[in-house]
Structure 1
Amino acid sequence: MPAMVILFVALAVLFLFFSFSKKLWRGVEDWFHVYQFLKVPQHNHTTLQENHLYRKVSLYLHSLASIEDSDFTTLLTGKKHNDILLCLGPNQTIQDRFLGATVFWHNQTDADDGADQNPQFNRARAFVLKIRKVDKRRILRPYLQHIHAVADDIEQQGNRDLRLFMNTAAAAQGGGRWRSVPFTHPCTFETLAMESDLKNRVKSDLESFLRAKQYYNRLGRVWKRSFLLYGPSGTGKSSFVAAMANFLRYDVYDIDLSKVPSDSDLKLLLLQTTPKSVVVVEDLDRFLAEKSTAVSPSGMLNFMDGVVSSCCGEEKVMVFTMNSKEHVDPNLLRPGRIDVHIHFPLCDFTAFKTMANNYLGVKEHKLFPQVQEIFQNGASLSPAEIGELMIANRNSPSRAIKSVITALQTDGDGRGSGSPIVRHTGEDDVDEPDAVMCGEGLHTVKDLRKLYGFFRLKNTRRSPSSNTSSMPSPLR
């Protein structure tokens, strides 16, 4: 037994000795300038634009098997709940080998000067490459090209996790104006209640855009596409944005105009967006009509197609949503600023059948002729309202369809007799299945509104200041 203890102590001493000597040798090499350090910051501190190389290095490093050997590794869940992802921890180092040379990457995370209220947000991030001077001239250029190639392969294979970016009210020193969370919206074009022909035209338009870089460059135009989505609330505009992002595999930048203090700040926000992104401005008509934003109409015009948009608009899709475009300045909607207009009307019978298939798994039903007759008489509801009724009665398709019939008869009279759909390239109705919890047996939209009003009143009584402390959902 004492021999085992002595052996264990000896092994522990040897391990500590080798670990210490290894770090000591690295320190000696650094002291005599054997290594050179190259910094890849997350943001360009001069222009505040995001450094595209930083993202590529991040994708590359997190694909290395040696990340498991880092002193501190963060474990995160992946897209599926049973997936475990390894992420390089703050201020930790990872080793890599290329063409016989060993290099080190340090994940540098420093708190900014003035990071007081939200220190977890106000941080300057960078990757620092440590490379031997004798290897630098031989491998640096091919090594960086290798990183680009691996990162591009990861993005093309769709393995990159999408992000939802939201603008903040004030910028951190040395940092950006955007804060991000994983973008996990499940909506796709396959789940949208959209005519097959229209859906194919929209998808074809987006696929053509993805392949059109050389064509746009030959014309001397910025490689971007602009969409206007307009229609009543609950008709699926935000779900369409999510489906578009999932189809393109683009990140989403959601701009809250109420947090933009000036026209120049709006330009800075656009400067800090990255290629392969969908830039969204929701409820634009409301902000312009109520003048609830510091952004002027001329500032919005420059944002849509000004010089800044031309310089940093490459490989982007711009999306603007409105409830109506009747009272909007036509200069905002002219060709060049808006390429595609899509009207999102209230639900019709075709969209209802698609929703019944998606929500209830029903392609045909004996009650469909009655529903079709009600729609033909001019009654209609929004896709969100019909979707909630189907969710509340999803265990019984017949009961769900009956509840829709009742709602159409009591709440939808005359709501489907609006103006016809205006089409440019592609547009129609889309369903938006918002995740609202409803009890079984709700038959009319009034029941849903009463239930929502009850919870809202109860919540107001509990927390009078909740309106000022809660953050609105970026995608509604």
Structure 2
Amino acid sequence: MEFRQLFSTIILIVLTGIIVKLFLNRTIRTAKLIRWWRLLSEKFHDHQFLKIPELNDNSQQNHLFRRVSLYLNSLQSLEDSDNTNLFSGVNPNDIVLSLNDNQTVVDTFLDARIRWTLTSRAGGACFTLTIRKRDKRRVLRPYLQHIHVVSDEIDSRKRELRLFTPVSGFSGEVSGGVRWRGVPFTHPATMETIAMEIDIKNKINLDLDNFLKSKQFYHRLGKVWRRSYLLYGPSGTGKSSFAAALAKTLSYDVYNLELSSISDDSELKHLLLQTTPRSVILVEDFDKFGTTRLTASGVMNFMDGVVSSCCEERVMVFTMTTKDEIAPEILRPGRIDVHIHFPMCDFNNFKCLASSYLGVKEHKLFSHVEEVFSSGATLSPAEISELMLVNRNSPSRAIKSVITALQTTSSPVVVAGSVGGESCKGTPDHGFKSGDSVDGGSGTLRKDGVKEIKKLYGLLRRKSSICRVSDSFVLDS
């Protein structure tokens, strides 16, 4: 009896295995037949091939190319396809899919089968869309609208900011082969971490918010929807960090441009045309453009010329040490909308840095720090930040190190300029010239005189924190 039961069980298992194998083989055969049938049917149907290049005829970025790339990288069929590229996202757990060169992915829309192929060439990459001619009139337009909607949703849901720098490209490209190359933009600066007076920060945030909502208003006035900022002040005062925070606030990509690396006006124009909407164009050390191979007319056309009118939804940021060496017509309203001064650190900025770096809003040594600042001593925010960073585990030690450094700078100051035929080094230039009152012709200002003048200068600046000139305004931070 037991032998019969065991034999029946074995027979049942064998029969189950045979049935499963036959079913799987049939499923595999069916899938192969369907794939072969599709390939065969495509041979007997007329197809149309539409190309979407990365760059248009003017070497500008083709925005449809970017939208198609976002859309295809989100398809389930790409995940199931062979040779798909995998990249890490902004977060360590994020995996980003990307179409590989010469790879084909299939999509379906309104019962129409659409194939996409990515190819690379010297002038940039290109997508090829393959669709049956009988489906084109019915499907193509709503399909492209569908791509726009999906890509916008992806952009708004999870936009990875990128930092672009100009590099030499392939020999077959135009204008010397210079193009932008992008990497993920992960700068940690935000408006909250910037050491700046709160009222100035609020004015900037309001200005950015108004810009984002003003597309129709700009067009009604016949103006290009663009905003430009000038950041000026000594090195180490936070201009570059502010530009990064501004980009993070807007969720805009950053195009970082060094004018010294540009060969001529034509190349500058070419690079501007390659930028995309929703981007910050950052031009650092703008006051040194006179030492480059660019002309003043080329720079002004870059800022507000006819070519720049093709580049809407952009914010242009120019940084420099001083405005004294720039011709007024270059910085006139219309070319520069907002002027923001970044001074050396004062007591209010010190408290912002102490809150960010040390986590303290009040400390028994603050009164001593304020007294040293009021004596005319000063450091750049970068110098104070470094002292706090090194001593971040002990707020008292960090603040004492700042006091010591400030007291060192309050010693007699050497006038910036030339005395006795030798270059003199000291604190940053506060407007004093070599002909100002000096102590015995030695090239040093009397310590008490420096204190009083700096106090007066700071008082005047605080009383005139914002000055409107035509449609531009100046902010003193």
Q: What range is the shorter-chain TM-score in?
A: 0.7 to 0.9
Using the alignment, how far apart are the partners of 2:166 and 2:31 within structure 1? 45
TM-score with structure 1 length normalisation? Answer: 0.80
Amino acid at match of 2:40: V
Match of 1:167 in 2: 166
Q: Give SS of 1:192's match.
A: coil
Determine which of 43, 49, 52 is the counterpart of 1:31.
43
1:286–1:417 Cα change, 3 Å: closer
2:244 aligned partner: 242
Q: 1:267 aligns with which of 262, 266, 269?
A: 269
C-alpha contact (below 8 Å) 1:42/1:126 kept by paired residues: yes
Offset at residue 249 of structure 1 (A): 0.8
What does residue range 409-428 of structure 1 map to in structure 2 within 5 Å?
409-411=407-409, 413=411, 415=427, 418=430, 421=461, 423-424=466-467, 425=473, 427-428=475-476
What SS does the corresponding residue of 1:191 show, helix, strand or coil? coil
Q: Which residue of 2 aligns with 1:449?
A: none
1:354 aligned partner, one-letter code = C
The CA distance in 2 between the partners of 1:233 and 1:215, in whole Å, is 37
2:443 counterpart residue number = none
- 1:338 lines up with 2:340 in the alignment: no
2:206 aligns with 204
Alignment of 1:53-132 (within 5 A): 53-106=64-117, 108-112=118-122, 124-132=124-132
1:36-47 maps to which residues of 2 (within 5 A)? 36-44=48-56, 46-47=57-58
| SS of equivalent residue, structure 2 residue 307 | helix
Relative distance call for 1:23 and 1:407 in structure 2 (3 A) is same
2:284 aligned partner: 282
Q: 1:150 and 2:150 equivalent?
A: yes
Q: Does 1:381 align with 2:379?
A: yes
RMSD: 2.7
Superposition deviation, residue 171 in structure 1: 5.8
Mapped to 2, the partners of 1:70 and 1:11 lie a distance apart of 25
The Cα of 1:181 is off from its aligned counterpart by 0.7
Alignment coverage as a number of residue pairs: 412
Q: Cα gap change, 1:178/1:385 in structure 2, threshold over 3 Å: closer, same or farther?
A: same
Decide whether the 8 Å contact of 1:227 with 1:338 is kept in 2.
yes
> So what's the TM-score if we normalise by structure 2?
0.80
Aligned to 1:117: none
Code of the residue aligned with 1:156 in structure 2: it is S
Tell me the equivalent position of 1:305.
Answer: 304
TM-fit CA distance, 1:134: 2.4
1:390 deviates by 0.8
Q: Distance in 2 between matches of 1:198 and 1:360?
A: 23
Q: Which residue matches 2:140?
A: 140
Partner of 1:459: none
CA distance in 2, matches of 1:218, 1:68: 45
Distance 1:378 1:205, change over 3 A: same
Q: 1: CA distance between counterparts of 2:74 and 2:361?
A: 44
Q: Cα gap change, 1:359/1:3 in structure 2, threshold over 3 Å: closer, same or farther?
A: same
Q: Distance in 1 between matches of 2:168 and 2:429?
A: 42
The one-letter amino acid paired with 2:213 is R
Query: What secondary structure, in the 3-state scheme, does the structure 1 residue paired with 2:124 have?
Result: strand
Structure-2 residue corresponding to 1:52: 63
Report the CA distance shift for 1:20/1:91 in structure 2 as closer, same or farther (over 3 A): farther
3-state SS of the aligned residue for 1:341? Answer: strand
Q: 1:254 Cα shift?
A: 1.0
In 2, the alpha carbon distance for the partners of 1:40 and 1:269 equals 21
**Residues 180, 8 of structure 1: alpha-carbon distance in 2 compared, 3 angstrom cutoff:** farther
CA 1:402/1:197 → structure 2, altered by over 3 Å: closer, same or farther? same
Q: Could you tell me whether the CA contact under 8 Å between 1:276 and 1:316 is conserved in 2?
A: yes
- CA distances 1:184-218 after superposition (whole Å, capped 9, x unpaired): 11111011111111111101101100110111101
**Is the 8 Å Cα contact of residues 201 and 426 (structure 1) preserved in structure 2?**
no
Q: Is the 8 A contact 1:165 1:179 kept in 2?
A: yes
Change over 3 Å in CA distance of 1:16–1:411 after alignment to 2: farther
Deviation digits for residues 263-319 of structure 1 (CA, Å, limit 9, x no counterpart): 11111111111111111111011232xx1x211112111111111112x22111111
> Using the alignment, how far apart are the partners of 1:194 and 1:427 within structure 2?
11
Asked if the contact 1:167/1:178 (under 8 Å) is kept, the reply is yes
- The equivalent residue for 2:437 is none
* CA shift in 2, pair 1:374/1:66, >3 Å: same
1:193 aligns to what SS in structure 2?
coil
- Tell me the secondary structure at the aligned position of residue 356 of structure 1: helix
2:169–2:178 CA contact under 8 A, matched in 1 = no
Partner residue of 2:220?
218
SS at match of 1:189: coil
Give % identity. Answer: 56
1:15 Cα deviation after fit: 8.2
* Whole-angstrom distance in 2 between the partners of 1:416 and 1:48: 43
Distance 1:164 1:253 in 2: 6
- Equivalences for residues 159-198 of structure 1 within 5 A: 159-169=158-168, 172-174=171-173, 177-198=179-200
CA-to-partner distance for each residue in 1:400-421, whole Å, 9 max, x for gaps?
Answer: 1111111111136564893555
- Note closer, same or farther for the CA distance 1:338–1:344 as it changes in structure 2 (3 Å cut): same
Q: Would you say the 8 A contact 1:263–1:299 is kept in 2? A: yes
Determine helix, strand or coil for the equivalent of 2:329.
Answer: helix
Match of 2:315 in 1: 317
Answer yes or no: is the 8 Å Cα contact 1:165–1:254 preserved in 2.
Answer: yes
| Ranges in structure 2 where 5+ consecutive residues have no aligned partner | 1-12, 414-426, 431-456, 468-472
**Aligned counterpart, 2:235:** 233
Partner Cα distance (2:259, 2:42) in 1: 49
Larger Rg over CA atoms: 2
Instruction: Return 5+ residue gaps in structure 1 as ranges.
Output: 113-122, 430-476
Q: For 2:260 and 2:23, how far apart are their aligned partners in 1? A: 63
